[in-house]
């Protein structure tokens, strides 16, 4: 008889394995997420025959000078905004994870790119969520032409792989990784073990046969993909599709890209006929901006090579409890707290006893210090209940002494600010390089936040 089977536990949030059950995962800190992995899966997993790469023979070390470095083969997906985020088109034989909350538009985006992909490639769209009929109806609504597009409604990944071997598509879309299972299905689809196994099989399809694989992954409430770490490590690119439920704008960003930069964003708008690209995000993000109200200021951030205008809103109200509340949305929390402290100490505004809320409109995430000054202005404007002029924007990093520091690509930002009809812009008095102010835009040069507040509020 075999010795007592080894028991393995893992966390359903992060995939961390432990030899014994615990109430809290020691890796990610989540509570009540440790479950036991079924015994067969553990035993089988250790001797999985698919760990070798079929069709590729034995991998041997190669001298670095013999490794070919011809550029990777890229093709356009037909959505310039998606191509931009991928780093200039999709790479042949890459595995791309498209993550996002349920209902954000991942399936729609993938189905829409089929329209142009299937003009030059064979595309297999596998859905574990919808029937072929449902997908066809949706494709018709999205005006996706169908030649060269094949649909498969399947959740067993081994059957999917068999179809791939028969059809030999150039592009494979899997909707979604959480509905797929591999092997005998002992572990339920979506569990970390299954997600891992399926991702590995898809990786082998991509690398072994040169198929470009897009795999959709749902994000749970806490903002992580089920088994996120496992997936993110394995794939070549991780794209996140984000947006606010009540708004029609969607932002696609790369969290990881083995073939390009991760700072580009793609902007889309969800309408009756699916997603349309928004080539001028600034206009879209500023539409509906409140006029003549305190607590809002516009800035310009660089998203990759592209300047994008963002509206920062703030609400500062006297705190009714002992400790003041601070929240931020779309803006780094620690940075927001730091700016409030600077505003109190260097700007002379007594915000210490106030609740403060900071929000970036349109689902944009602003991670650049260049947005500091606009945040300061918005906070001060709300605190003093005084309007910021509607035609004013602000760009500049704020230091701990309240001084304004120069930012990169200032000329580019100013050009975009002027293009959107602003006539005044607060900028740091000192900036490196020559700053060209576009015609029609008045620069208000300030040394520190006191000067900035005096100039506009």
Tell me which residues touch Mg ion (CB under 5 A). 107
* Strand extents, DSSP E, 80-158: 90-91, 95-100, 123-127, 149-153
Tell me the HSE value of 351 on the side-chain side, using a 13 A CA sphere.
31
State yes or no: residue 136 binds ligand TYD (CB under 6 A): no
Quote the radius of gyration of the chain (alpha carbons, Å): 26
What single DSSP character describes residue 262? S
Tell me whether residue 109 or residue 238 sits nearer to Mg ion (CB atom). 109
- Type and span of the H or E element at 450: helix 449-456
CB of 134 to ligand TYD, least distance (A): 10
Candidates 203-211, 252-260, 272-280, 357-365: pick the segment binding ligand TYD (CB under 6 A).
Answer: 272-280
* Binds ligand TYD (CB under 6 A): choice among 84, 106, 196, 335: 106
Candidates 48-56, 134-142, 281-289, 413-421: pick the segment binding ligand TYD (CB under 6 A).
Answer: 134-142
Residue nearest to Mg ion (CB): 107
State yes or no: residue 223 binds ligand TYD (CB under 6 A): no
* Strand extents, DSSP E, 235-341: 237-242, 249-257, 265-271, 274-277, 296-303, 306-318, 326-329
Give the full edge-to-edge strand order of the sheet including 8-11.
17-18, 8-11, 34-37
CB burial readout 75-113, b (16+ within 10 A) else e: bbbbbebbbbbbbebbbbbbbbbbbbbeebbbbbbbbbb
CB of 74 to ligand TYD, least distance (A): 25
CB of 152 to ligand TYD, least distance (A): 17
CB of 219 to Mg ion, least distance (A): 12
CB of 109 to ligand TYD, least distance (A): 7
Tell me whether residue 175 or residue 332 sits nearer to ligand TYD (CB atom). 175
CA 356, 417, 450, 373 torsion-angle sign: positive
CA dist 381 and 283 (Å) reads: 23
CB burial readout 434-447, b (16+ within 10 A) else e: eeeeeeebebebbe
Tell me whether residue 12 or residue 107 sits nearer to Mg ion (CB atom). 107
Give yes or no for a contact between 362 and 394, defined as CB atoms under 8 angstroms apart.
no
Candidates 270-278, 328-336, 404-412, 433-441: pick the segment binding ligand TYD (CB under 6 A).
Answer: 270-278
State yes or no: residue 100 binds ligand TYD (CB under 6 A): yes
State yes or no: residue 138 binds ligand TYD (CB under 6 A): yes
CB of 373 to ligand TYD, least distance (A): 36
Tell me the HSE value of 263 on the side-chain side, using a 13 A CA sphere.
11
Tell me whether residue 110 or residue 374 sits nearer to Mg ion (CB atom). 110
Candidates 61-69, 268-276, 282-290, 449-457: pick the segment binding ligand TYD (CB under 6 A).
Answer: 268-276
* Binds ligand TYD (CB under 6 A): choice among 6, 40, 54, 102: 102
For 351-363, the DSSP string reads: -TTEEEEEEEGGG
State yes or no: residue 273 binds ligand TYD (CB under 6 A): yes
Tell me whether residue 104 or residue 378 sits nearer to ligand TYD (CB atom). 104
Tell me whether residue 100 or residue 281 sits nearer to Mg ion (CB atom). 100
Residue 100 binding: pick among Mg ion, ligand TYD, none (C-beta 5-8 Å cut-off by kind) = ligand TYD
Q: Which two tokens stand for residue 294?
A: 């305190």
CA dist 404 and 427 (Å) reads: 8
Candidates 19-27, 32-40, 269-277, 401-409: pick the segment binding ligand TYD (CB under 6 A).
Answer: 269-277
CA 69, 75, 77, 83 torsion-angle sign: positive
Give yes or no for a contact between 428 and 409, defined as CB atoms under 8 angstroms apart.
no
What separation in angstroms does the CA of 248 have from each of 251, 283, 287, 331, 363? 10, 14, 12, 20, 10
φ/ψ (deg, to 5) at 36: -85, 140
Residue 138 binding: pick among Mg ion, ligand TYD, none (C-beta 5-8 Å cut-off by kind) = ligand TYD
- Touching ligand TYD, residues 280-339 (CB under 6 A): none
CB of 107 to Mg ion, least distance (A): 3
Residue 210 binding: pick among ligand TYD, Mg ion, none (C-beta 5-8 Å cut-off by kind) = none
State yes or no: residue 108 binds ligand TYD (CB under 6 A): yes
CA angle 41, 46, 49 (to 5 degrees): 95
Tell me whether residue 174 or residue 342 sits nearer to Mg ion (CB atom). 174
Candidates 25-33, 135-143, 159-167, 381-389: pick the segment binding ligand TYD (CB under 6 A).
Answer: 135-143
CB of 411 to Mg ion, least distance (A): 42
Q: Which parts of this chain interact with ligand TYD (CB under 6 A)? A: 100, 102-108, 138, 141-142, 270, 272-274
């Amino acid at each position: 008889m075999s010795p007592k089977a080894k028991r393995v536990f893992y966390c359903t949030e992060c995939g961390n394995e432990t030899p014994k059950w615990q109430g809290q995962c020691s890796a990610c800190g989540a509570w009540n997420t440790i479950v036991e992995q079924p015994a067969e899966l553990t035993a089988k997993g250790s001797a999985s025959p698919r760990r070798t790469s079929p069709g590729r023979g034995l991998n041997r070390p190669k001298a670095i000078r013999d490794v070919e470095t011809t550029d990777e083969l890229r093709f356009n997906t037909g959505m310039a905004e998606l191509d931009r985020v991928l780093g200039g088109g999709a790479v042949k034989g890459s595995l791309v994870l498209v993550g996002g909350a349920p209902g954000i538009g991942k399936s729609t985006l993938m189905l829409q790119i089929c329209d142009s992909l299937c003009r030059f490639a064979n595309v297999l769209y596998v859905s574990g969520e919808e029937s072929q009929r449902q997908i066809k109806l949706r494709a018709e609504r999205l005006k996706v032409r169908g030649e060269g597009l094949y649909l498969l409604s399947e959740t067993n990944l081994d059957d999917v792989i068999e179809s791939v071997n028969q059809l030999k598509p150039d592009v494979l879309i899997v909707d979604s990784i959480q509905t797929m299972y591999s092997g005998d299905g002992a572990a339920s689809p979506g569990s970390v073990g299954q997600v891992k196994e399926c991702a590995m099989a898809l990786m082998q399809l991509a690398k072994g046969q040169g198929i470009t694989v897009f795999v959709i992954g749902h994000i749970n409430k806490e903002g992580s993909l089920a088994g996120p770490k496992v997936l993110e490590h394995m794939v070549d690119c991780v794209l996140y599709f984000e947006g606010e439920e009540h708004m029609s704008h969607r932002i696609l960003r790369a969290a990881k890209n083995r073939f390009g930069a991760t700072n580009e964003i793609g902007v889309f708008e969800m309408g009756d006929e699916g997603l349309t690209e928004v080539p001028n995000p600034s206009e879209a993000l500023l539409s509906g901006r409140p006029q003549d109200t305190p607590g809002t200021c516009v800035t310009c951030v660089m998203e990759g090579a592209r300047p994008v205008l963002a509206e920062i809103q703030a609400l500062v109200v006297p705190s009714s409890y002992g400790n003041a509340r601070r929240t931020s949305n779309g803006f780094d929390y620690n940075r927001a707290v730091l700016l409030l402290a600077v505003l109190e100490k260097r700007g002379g505004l007594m915000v210490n006893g106030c609740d403060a809320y900071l929000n970036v409109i349109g689902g944009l995430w602003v991670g650049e210090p260049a947005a500091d000054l606009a945040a300061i202005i918005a906070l001060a404007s709300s605190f003093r209940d005084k309007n910021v002029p509607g035609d004013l924007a602000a760009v500049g990093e704020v230091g701990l002494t309240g001084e304004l520091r120069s930012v990169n690509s200032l000329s580019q930002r100013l050009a975009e600010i002027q293009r959107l009809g602003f006539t005044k812009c607060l900028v740091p008095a000192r900036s490196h390089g020559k700053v060209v102010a576009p015609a029609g835009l008045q620069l208000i040069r300030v040394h520190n936040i006191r000067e900035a507040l005096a100039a506009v509020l």
